[in-house]
Amino acid sequence: MRSMGSLKQGVVSRRKLLVGLLLLFYFYGGVLLIMDCVVVVSGIGVNWGTQATHPLPPSTVVRMLKDNGIDRVKLFDADSKYLNALANSGIQVMVGIPNEMLSTLASSVQAAENWVAKNVSSHVSSNGVDIRYVAVGNEPFLPTFNGTFIGTTLPALQNIQAALIKAGLGTRIKVTVPLNADVYQSQSNLPSEGDFRTDIHDLMLQILKFLSDNGGPFTVNIYPFISLYNDPSFPIDFAFFDSNSSPINDNGRVYENVFDANYDTLVWALQKNGFGNLSIIVGEIGWPTDGDKNANLKFAQRFNQGFMSRVNAGKGTPMRSGAIDAYLFSLIDEDAKSIQPGNFERHWGLLYFDGQPKYQLSLGNGRNGLVAAKDVHYLAQKWCVMSPSASLDDPQVAASVSYACGNADCTSLGYGTSCGNLDSRGNISYAFNSYYQINNQLDSACRFPNLSAVTTTNPSTGDCLFRIMIKTDTTAGAGERRLSRSVGLQAYILTFVFIIM
Determine whether 480 is an active site residue.
no
Determine whether 113 is an active site residue.
no
According to DSSP, the β-strands at 130-136 and 174-176 are parallel
Co-location of 313 and 442 in the same domain? no
Q: Torsion angle of alpha carbons 69, 75, 80, 83, nearest 10°? A: 20
Domain boundary pick from 351, 367, 395:
351
Co-location of 77 and 214 in the same domain? yes
Distance CA 85, CA 123 (A): 11
Co-location of 342 and 391 in the same domain? no
Low-confidence ranges of the chain (pLDDT < 70): 1-43, 365-367, 474-501
Point out the catalytic residue in the list 113, 139, 256, 334.
Answer: 139
Specify if 345 maps to a domain: yes
Residue 370 near residue 36, CB atoms below 8 Å: no
Co-location of 336 and 442 in the same domain? no
Point out the catalytic residue in the list 100, 113, 256, 284.
Answer: 284
> Residue 285 in 3-state DSSP?
strand
Co-location of 280 and 207 in the same domain? yes
Distance CA 349, CA 139 (A): 20
Co-location of 167 and 238 in the same domain? yes
Specify if 495 maps to a domain: no
Co-location of 55 and 188 in the same domain? yes
Convert the pLDDT of each residue in 124-142 to its tens digit.
Answer: 998 899 999 999 999 999 9
Number of structural domains (the chain) is: 2
Q: Tell me the backbone φ, ψ of residue 332, rounded to 5 degrees.
A: -135, 145
Enclosing H/E stretch for 175: strand 174-176
Co-location of 312 and 391 in the same domain? no
Co-location of 263 and 404 in the same domain? no
Co-location of 90 and 209 in the same domain? yes
Q: What is the pTM of this model?
A: 0.89
Specify if 6 maps to a domain: no
Specify if 472 maps to a domain: no
Specify if 269 maps to a domain: yes
Distance CA 240, CA 248 (A): 14
Co-location of 176 and 100 in the same domain? yes
Residue type (1 letter), 218: F
According to DSSP, the β-strands at 130-136 and 194-196 are unpaired
Task: Read off the CATH number of the domain in which 344 is found.
Answer: 3.20.20.80
Domain boundary pick from 327, 351, 375:
351
Cβ partners under 8 Å of residue 361, min gap 6: 31, 33, 301, 304, 305, 308, 350, 369, 370
Would you state the pLDDT for residue 14?
40
Distance CA 473, CA 459 (A): 27
Q: Torsion angle of alpha carbons 310, 314, 318, 321, nearest 10°? A: 160
Residue type (1 letter), 295: A
Would you state the pLDDT for residue 496?
40
Domain boundary pick from 351, 374, 398:
351
Task: Count Cβ atoms below 10 Å from residue 53 Cβ, excluding itself.
Answer: 20
Would you state the pLDDT for residue 21?
41
Domain boundaries, position 420: 383-455
Would you state the pLDDT for residue 8?
28
Specify if 186 maps to a domain: yes
Distance CA 155, CA 136 (A): 10
Co-location of 305 and 399 in the same domain? no
Specify if 474 maps to a domain: no
Specify if 470 maps to a domain: no
